[in-house]
């Protein structure tokens, strides 16, 4: 009967450090990428980075013509939800592309 081989702790530590560096690189790259969430067929747009830094809100002046504050509030909220969903997708895609991480987090 053979004894199970002990993992090389130095190798495990090196791999963990490499994965940590890959993750930090991916997070830095995501922080620079911008995505835009839209609502109302583009009447409201919210732009943010992959690090959830909100950069811009654009509202088409046509939205103000009706004077419906509730509709505008709903559109802004919908655009915020859309941009957050897009950021989450962006982050999931980035993490899925990192070699070695998928086995640890998936």
Tell me: pLDDT of 26 over 80.
yes
Q: Is the pLDDT of residue 103 over 60?
A: no
| DSSP secondary structure letters along the chain | -PPPPPP-HHHHHHHHHHHHHHHHHHHHHHHH-EEEEEEGGGTEEEEEETTS-EEEEEE-THHHHT--HHHHHHHHHHHHHHHHHHHHHHHHHHHHTSTTHHHHH-
pTM exceeding 0.75: no
Cα of 95 vs its chain's centroid, Å = 10
């Amino acid at each position: 009967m053979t004894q199970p081989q002990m993992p090389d702790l130095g190798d495990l530590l090196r791999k963990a450090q490499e994965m940590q560096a890959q993750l930090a690189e991916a997070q830095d790259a995501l922080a620079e990428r911008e995505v835009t969430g839209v609502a109302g067929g583009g009447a409201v747009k919210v732009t943010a980075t992959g690090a959830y830094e909100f950069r811009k809100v654009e509202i088409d002046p046509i939205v103000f013509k009706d004077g419906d504050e509730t509709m505008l509030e709903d559109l802004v909220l919908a655009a915020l939800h859309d941009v957050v969903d897009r950021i989450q997708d962006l982050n999931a895609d980035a993490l899925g592309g990192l070699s070695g991480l998928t086995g640890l987090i998936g």
